[in-house]
Amino acid sequence: MSYKTILVHVDESSHASERIKIAAAIAMTENAHLIGTAVTGASRYLPRGSVLADVDPRLSAPLDFLQDRAIRGLEEFESAVQMLGLPSFEKRLVDDEAGGGICLQARYADLVVIGQNDPQEATPLVMPDFPQYVVLHCRRPVLLVPHDGRFDTIGKRVLVAWDASMEATRAVGDAIPLLRRAHTVEVATFNSDANRQPGAEIAQYLKRHGIQTELLQRRTDGNVGAALLALAAELGCDLLIMGGYGHLRFREIVLGNATQTVLASMTIPVMMSF
């Protein structure tokens, strides 16, 4: 198993270069094709060109402005991956809002790379719930890059959050290409029965894939997401693998406490699967 197609969200934000660098590094390692996708923020159902001018000429100028911004992001993506020497890549310009556009493109990718929203750099092209929306809807593993910090390595020392749920199971399976290349993989369980050996079966599963793990048992009376981030910092990890939990309620995204905490407060890249 390997990643053969990787999708990265591209825009004009100051954080785009870091996620492009990470996506390109994984693509180089996996010998994968990298797709940089920029979205204009305009609905894909909106008519364009001469048809749009007939509907309302006033709409043409703002839509051209949005398209120009997206194109500039793609130009920066192309320059960055060429400098890194990535042999196989392409850029795509998509007329859609960010969440819907990335989720649609994700159907044809093995891994999706997006950024954590930065409240200090809000943009009308990306809704505040963009990361949550993509993780919940794209049905692909999503690698989220924090908006603060530089990440010169990723996946050397990996922390896996394990609770034997379907989401955690999928996250581990999705992460196998990264876990195979890791120097250290630590599997953490929280508040498990002390009379059992939690994580032993997933450790055996990973061992059959050639992945050696260390098992860690922790207890917390607080939020498990905060405890995970604290443990990752304590161990010096550069990647967190975890399952996510959430659902839609009256068009509102409702996330589990641990998922919401990690998405809001991540300090290292996080790979999440639903």
For residue 248, pLDDT beyond 70: no
For residue 251, pLDDT beyond 60: no
Task: Provide the whole-model pTM.
Answer: 0.93
Q: What's the pLDDT tens digit per position in 112-152?
A: 999 998 888 877 678 888 999 999 999 999 999 999 999 99
Spatial separation of the C-alpha atoms in residues 82 and 91, rounded to whole Å: 12
Q: What's the pLDDT tens digit per position in 34-47?
A: 999 999 987 655 55
Find the distance separating the first CA and the last CA of the chain, reported in whole Å.
19
Residue-range domains of the chain with CATH = 5-145 (3.40.50.620), 157-273 (3.40.50.620)
State the DSSP string of 181-245.
Answer: H-SEEEEEEES--TTS-TTHHHHHHHHHTT---EEEEE--SS-HHHHHHHHHHHHT-SEEEEE--
| Helix, strand, coil percentages, rounded to 5, for the chain | 40, 25, 35
Q: What's the pLDDT tens digit per position in 145-181?
A: 999 999 999 999 999 999 999 999 999 999 999 999 9
Asked whether the beta carbons of 271 and 142 are under 8 A apart, the reply is: yes
